[in-house]
Structure 1
Amino acid sequence: MGNTKKINRQITKFGLYGFFKNLRFFDPILLIFLYSFGLYAFQIGILYAIREMMIYIFEIPSGVFADQYGKKTELIICFVFYVLSFVVFAIGTNFYVFAIAMILFGLGEAFRSGTHKSIIMLFLDMHDLSHIKSKIYGKTRSYSMIGSMVSSLFTIVLVMTVSDLKFLFILAIIPYLIDIGLVLSYPKVLNDKKQIHFNWKYFIKENINAIKYVFKDHQMRDILMSSSSFQAMFKILKDFIQLILVSIPITYLLFSQYNSEQHVKIYAAIMYAFIFLISAITSRNSYLLLKLRNAKSIVKAMWLMSGISSLIIGIFVQQILIVFIGFILLYICLNIRKPLMVEIIGDYANKDKRASVLSVDSQLTSLFIVIFAPILGFLSDTYSLSFMFILVGIIMIITYILLTLRHNTNKKVLQWNPLP
């Protein structure tokens, strides 16, 4: 009984970590904030590419660092980078200063991504709970979505009471300091280390081994390519709702004392709050779909659903309610898919390679974003947001069709068993 309480308490801590991590009060208005300094969609795409390039460069080394020298230690380092990036954002006024902020933010992301998931997996393995990892991960992710929802609601209040959006970056430092305290309270055994003294030669060797491990195993390679490409598309698209709001004339004002420019920020925060509430519910219950279909079939179907959602947004880009529904569908797809992808990766990856594999997944995501974020920003500037969303929707639907055809072809090959 006592052990069960300890397990539940630690799982709650995992959830609270995600809750405080997602209290980024600037998230619902980040693109609006950058846009207010005269940046174009292409420049914003470049900033995203800079951030993701840092993740790409440091992702695998950070995963190996976590496996070799302690996951808790690495998470503390990541929050230091985050806090520094928030400070630089708060004092920034031009593209080049924001680029520095994105570099620091990217370092924080690189040192964080994959690490906390591997801590959760290690904890579940230690307590023989690995068979319910998608349920546990979905539960902890729901905390993250609730944190994002609370963050968005709080942002509404801040936008209405604070004239300078830079204050949101300073305020976001507080929950990150709380997260540092939470990570420090995790059991010492979760800061497992394979090697005490840092050795560059051994460190580089482990990096190379992690890459070889992933790309020599064709199943693992295919899983990570599917996971990373989907996440990249989603990460690029999800913030464009802010630019859509900027581009649509605001005719209905909820609060008469605020102008249309302020209402853009208010509507963005309201939309994100509602989206994250739906996402929290979806993430918490995504494992239930496994009773109907296997995980691979479900994650593949999310390509089709996301493509349709993107098409809806692109076709009805001037209809704010339909755009809102389209973004809700996109978030539902991600939050169904992500816990199931973690389970799939956890099942296929060796236990001692999980942090490195998850880091490779994140690194590939970053590479796709580095390539496509500036391109999609350029398409938005040159043609329109509508054109960009329609194009992405078509690509996602084609991807689903190709994956389905490949799956059917593989089934036929396996079923064909000629006599010798």
Structure 2
Amino acid sequence: MIFRFCLYGFLKNQRYFAPFWILAFLEKDLTYAMIGLLIGFREISIAVLEIPTGAIADSVGRRGAMILSHVAYVIAFIMFGLASSVPILFVAMFAFAIGEAFRTGTHKAIIFAWLKSQGREREKTHIYGITRSWSQMGSALSVVLAAGLVIWLEEYTVIFWISAIPAALNILNFLSYPKSLDFSGDKKPQRENAMRMLWRATLQCFTSPRLRRPITESMGFEGIYGASKDYLQPLIQSAALALPLLVTWEATQRTAVLIAVIYAVLYLLGSFASRYAGPFSMRFENEEKAAMSLWLAYAATFGILLVGTITSWTGLAIFSFVVLAVMQNLWRPILISRVADEASDEAMATVLSVESQAKSIGIAIIAPVLGITVDLMPPDYRFAPIALLGIAIAFVALAASALPPRSASAE
């Protein structure tokens, strides 16, 4: 099963458009503000859909939810390839959001259910880190393949079409999962219990201080990272045009080469970080302290990014984004393990979907704000707001961590 879990992550991350997402939208004459609105719309859609889809997965079967997710992905990728207007892009984003909503939380619940059935619950961080590392290796391969396509064809649209193929292949992978992983108990829950389960699990997230804290942290950490990470692409494009290399090549081709190199390194380092998230967390007294150490590193890295964005040191800004990606791949397994430790098994997919929804809300709020401020800033300081907001969020999280969580009885 671990092989099939890893194969899922590897195929899921064959998203050939991912390293060129912002550049593909800029090629369609979108502003940064409109791109931010598209990202915000996607995340709001995910937030609206995520808890109900988690409850559906817990109630009517997790494998079916994953298959539906990837059918939605295939539709979204085809529509992105066909899109010639902003309304069609919004429809494609909504289809993509459906895929994300049915996927997030659900597959992690499948992994944790299998670990419990094998008596290996204590390995949650380690096993999830391994599967996530394969996802990152899939991303590393995908960026090389995508760059080759862009260099060959000198345009970005084709990478959306090609991304539909591995999404379809993952459906076949899900069909090989044992039916016993569809539900948490020995028998299928009644459908009429779906909303009851949804309410109990959601209430648990807000009434349990030990669940509320990591979910709130996810909103900040994942929110600023998810909203800002793709701004690495125009920075790489700027660096590619400034380098005295491959001067006979078109700008798109030169950008593709540099993106392939930097993103491949980023994904390989992210794979390494995910694989060793378990050993990393074991260096600390508990996973909460491991998370706080990452918040400190997060603040420092955004500080370095600020220096890179207000000076001519574009390479320093690019380096900062790579480090942020590595830290996010350490953070994610630790956070998921913290949430899973506090969630009941029968509502696991729903609780994990609530966590993912918090992340989506964070991105939905931050992405349009960043897009608008990037458009309004002078060109030489265009990306400074990203760093400033990252520093502010990190310091708020560190200040909050100094306060012990209140007990439920005190509220």
Structure 1: how far apart are the matches of 2:219 and 2:398?
A: 18
Unaligned ranges ≥5, structure 2:
407-411
Give the stretch that moved more between structures: 244-253 or 382-391: 244-253
Letter matched to residue 400 of structure 2: L
Q: After TM superposition, give the deviation of residue 247 of structure 1 in Å.
A: 4.7
1:164 aligns with 2:158: no
The residue that corresponds to 1:376 in the other structure is: 370
Aligned residues of 1:283 and 1:336 also touching (Cα < 8 A):
yes
Aligned residues of 2:73 and 2:99 also touching (Cα < 8 A):
yes
Unaligned ranges ≥5, structure 1:
1-9, 411-420
Give the stretch that moved more between structures: 17-26 or 174-183: 174-183
Aligned residues of 1:25 and 1:172 also touching (Cα < 8 A):
yes
The residue that corresponds to 2:409 in the other structure is: none
Within-5 A mapping of 1:106-121:
106-121=97-112
2:302 to 310, 315, 329: 310
Aligned residues of 2:240 and 2:254 also touching (Cα < 8 A):
no
- The C-alpha deviation readout for 1:256-291, integer Å capped at 9, x for no partner, is 442234322332232111100000011101111233
The residue that corresponds to 1:418 in the other structure is: none
Within-5 A mapping of 1:122-133:
122-133=113-124
2:347 to 345, 353, 357: 353
Q: Secondary structure, in 3 states, of the residue corresponding to 1:239?
A: helix
Structure 2: how far apart are the matches of 1:184 and 1:216?
A: 37
Structure 2: how far apart are the matches of 1:126 and 1:313?
A: 44
Q: After TM superposition, give the deviation of residue 121 of structure 1 in Å.
A: 0.1
1:205 to 155, 178, 196: 196
Q: Secondary structure, in 3 states, of the residue corresponding to 2:403?
A: helix
Q: Secondary structure, in 3 states, of the residue corresponding to 2:30?
A: coil
* TM-score between the two structures when normalised by the length of structure 2: 0.92
1:32 aligns with 2:29: no
- The 3 A distance-change label for structure 1 pair 94 and 262 is farther
Within-5 A mapping of 1:12-411:
12-192=3-183, 195=188, 198-199=191-192, 202-247=193-238, 250-293=241-284, 294-317=286-309, 318-383=312-377, 384-407=381-404
Structure 2: how far apart are the matches of 1:256 and 1:244?
A: 18
- The 3 A distance-change label for structure 1 pair 387 and 164 is closer
What is the identity percentage for the equivalent residue pairs of Structure 1 and Structure 2? 29
Aligned residues of 1:156 and 1:270 also touching (Cα < 8 A):
no
Q: Secondary structure, in 3 states, of the residue corresponding to 2:402?
A: helix
The residue that corresponds to 1:417 in the other structure is: none
Aligned residues of 2:143 and 2:263 also touching (Cα < 8 A):
yes
Structure 1: how far apart are the matches of 2:363 and 2:153?
A: 33
Letter matched to residue 289 of structure 2: S
- The 3 A distance-change label for structure 1 pair 404 and 209 is closer
Q: After TM superposition, give the deviation of residue 116 of structure 1 in Å.
A: 0.5
Q: After TM superposition, give the deviation of residue 319 of structure 1 in Å.
A: 2.3
Structure 2: how far apart are the matches of 1:340 and 1:177?
A: 30
Structure 2: how far apart are the matches of 1:80 and 1:330?
A: 31
Give the stretch that moved more between structures: 207-216 or 371-380: 207-216
Equivalent residues, number: 398
Letter matched to residue 271 of structure 1: I
- The 3 A distance-change label for structure 1 pair 323 and 374 is same
* TM-score between the two structures when normalised by the length of structure 1: 0.90
Letter matched to residue 300 of structure 2: I
Aligned residues of 2:155 and 2:252 also touching (Cα < 8 A):
no
Structure 2: how far apart are the matches of 1:82 and 1:209?
A: 30
- The C-alpha deviation readout for 1:63-85, integer Å capped at 9, x for no partner, is 10111110000000000110000
Structure 1: how far apart are the matches of 2:107 and 2:228?
A: 25
Q: Secondary structure, in 3 states, of the residue corresponding to 1:230?
A: helix
Q: Secondary structure, in 3 states, of the residue corresponding to 1:172?
A: helix
Q: After TM superposition, give the deviation of residue 115 of structure 1 in Å.
A: 0.5
Structure 2: how far apart are the matches of 1:381 and 1:74?
A: 39
Structure 1: how far apart are the matches of 2:396 and 2:327?
A: 15
Structure 2: how far apart are the matches of 1:198 and 1:351?
A: 18
Q: After TM superposition, give the deviation of residue 178 of structure 1 in Å.
A: 1.3
Structure 1: how far apart are the matches of 2:222 and 2:50?
A: 15
Structure 2: how far apart are the matches of 1:208 and 1:276?
A: 37
The residue that corresponds to 1:7 in the other structure is: none
Q: After TM superposition, give the deviation of residue 206 of structure 1 in Å.
A: 2.6
Aligned residues of 1:303 and 1:399 also touching (Cα < 8 A):
no
Give the stretch that moved more between structures: 308-317 or 171-180: 308-317
Q: After TM superposition, give the deviation of residue 52 of structure 1 in Å.
A: 0.7
Structure 2: how far apart are the matches of 1:150 and 1:283?
A: 17
Structure 2: how far apart are the matches of 1:192 and 1:350?
A: 13
Give the stretch that moved more between structures: 18-27 or 369-378: 369-378
Letter matched to residue 297 of structure 1: K
Structure 1: how far apart are the matches of 2:191 and 2:256?
A: 47
Letter matched to residue 292 of structure 2: K
- The C-alpha deviation readout for 1:106-153, integer Å capped at 9, x for no partner, is 110000000000000000000001111111111110000000000011
Give the stretch that moved more between structures: 382-391 or 105-114: 382-391
- The C-alpha deviation readout for 1:191-249, integer Å capped at 9, x for no partner, is 127546644xx433332222112111122111211123211111111111113234557
CA RMSD of aligned residues (A): 1.8
Give the stretch that moved more between structures: 319-328 or 245-254: 245-254
Structure 2: how far apart are the matches of 1:369 and 1:17?
A: 25
